[in-house]
């Protein structure tokens, strides 16, 4: 599976405020770029922290992009994938609505009645890992469901884990013209942090978009 992480940060590397409140970092042109990236993906993934904070739909906005997907035999929107070890995703979350397919990656610690509730609601539940989702194992199972191109939109906890597991192929960061600050504010990669063997990136593309800059890396 090919995994592209895409996120927008402030100039000081924050994903959102210390209250985990999403602010507008990108402009309209970057928004269109993200819509295209979603349209090129089989699935779009977030961590449950992002679902709880933002309740994103992760669907494609542009009707033309939806039509292009239909023309090539794909559903109009990519599937949505949430890493959610114990099922904290609210049943009325937008990622679970009927607009597109939904996958919940859970661990063995997920309560059985929550799993049944999600399955009855139409989501596909994939179990991998003991206490927390084993991302490598879960990705193998996603691949067997036909997901070859995966876009990950955050947040910082999930992105760090993906780098730690060596599962990221490309990283795109839009750095917007603002400062959020706050030592508790989520950054692009949170988790425990690396103290050695830092992932190495090769810068492939730099572009000014809106009033910010897009940095595109491949992971070595
Ligand atoms: N600017 C942007 O582009 C952007 C994009 C997305 C999000 N955000 C912001 O980011 C913030 C949310 O980020 P976040 O770091 O709190 O949450 P997150 O990365 O979205 O979700 C983290 C949660 O995912 C679950 N998870 C399951 N398996 C995991 C694994 N193997 N590794 C890591 N996490 C795993 C964990 O909860 P369990 O232990 O319960 O499973 C973990 O707490 C929000 O404020 C949102 O607004 C910004």
Q: What is the DSSP string of 32-79?
A: HHHHHHHHT-SEEEEEHHHHHHH--------HHHHHHHHHTT--SS-E
Taking the C-alpha atoms of residue 82 and residue 122, their distance in angstroms, rounded to an integer, is 14
| Closest by CA position to 80, among listed 57, 61, 64 | 57
Please write the tens of the pLDDT for every residue from 31-71. Answer: 999 999 999 999 999 999 999 999 999 999 999 999 999 99
Please write the tens of the pLDDT for every residue from 90-107. Answer: 999 999 999 999 999 999
User: Distance, CA 13 to ligand 1 centroid (Å)?
Assistant: 16
Query: Is the CB–ligand 1 distance for residue 158 below 6 Å?
Result: yes
pLDDT at 39: 98
Region 7-29: what's the mean pLDDT?
97
Query: Is the CB–ligand 1 distance for residue 155 below 6 Å?
Result: yes
pLDDT at 95: 98
Q: Which of 8, 37, 48, 163 to mutate to test the pocket of ligand 1 (most atoms within 8 A of CB)?
A: 48
Round to the nearest angstrom and report the end-to-end CA distance of the chain.
16
pLDDT at 78: 98
My answer on whether omega of the bond before 101 falls inside 30° of 0, hence cis, is: no
Please write the tens of the pLDDT for every residue from 143-177. Answer: 999 999 999 999 999 999 999 999 999 999 999 99
Share of the chain above pLDDT 70, in %: 100
> Is there a contact between 160 and 192 (Cβ–Cβ < 8 Å)?
yes
pTM reported for the whole predicted model: 0.98
Q: How many CB atoms lie within 10 A of CB 149?
A: 14
Q: How confident is the model at residue 9 (pLDDT cuts 50, 70, 90)?
A: very high
Ordered structural domains, the chain, with CATH: 2-219 (3.40.430.10)
Q: What stretch of H or E contains 82?
A: strand 79-83
């Amino acid at each position: 599976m090919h995994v592209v992480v895409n996120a927008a940060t402030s100039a000081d590397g924050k994903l959102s405020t210390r209250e985990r409140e999403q602010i507008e970092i990108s402009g309209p042109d970057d928004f269109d770029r993200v819509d295209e990236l979603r349209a090129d993906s089989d699935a779009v993934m977030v961590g449950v922290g992002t679902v709880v904070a933002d309740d994103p739909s992760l669907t494609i906005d542009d009707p033309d992009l939806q039509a292009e997907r239909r023309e090539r035999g794909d559903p109009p929107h990519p599937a949505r994938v949430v890493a959610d070890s114990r099922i904290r995703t609210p049943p009325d979350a937008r990622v679970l609505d009927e607009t597109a397919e939904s996958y919940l990656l859970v661990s063995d610690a997920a309560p059985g009645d929550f799993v049944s509730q999600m399955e009855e609601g139409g989501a596909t539940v994939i179990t991998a890992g003991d206490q927390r989702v084993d991302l490598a194992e879960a990705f193998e199972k996603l691949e067997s469901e036909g997901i070859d191109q995966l876009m990950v939109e955050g947040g910082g906890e999930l992105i760090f884990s993906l780098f730690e597991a060596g599962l990221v192929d490309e990283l795109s960061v839009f750095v917007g013209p603002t400062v959020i600050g706050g030592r508790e504010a989520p950054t692009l990669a949170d988790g425990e942090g690396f103290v050695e063997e830092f992932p190495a990136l090769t810068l492939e593309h730099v572009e000014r978009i809106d009033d910010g800059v897009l940095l595109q890396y491949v992971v070595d």
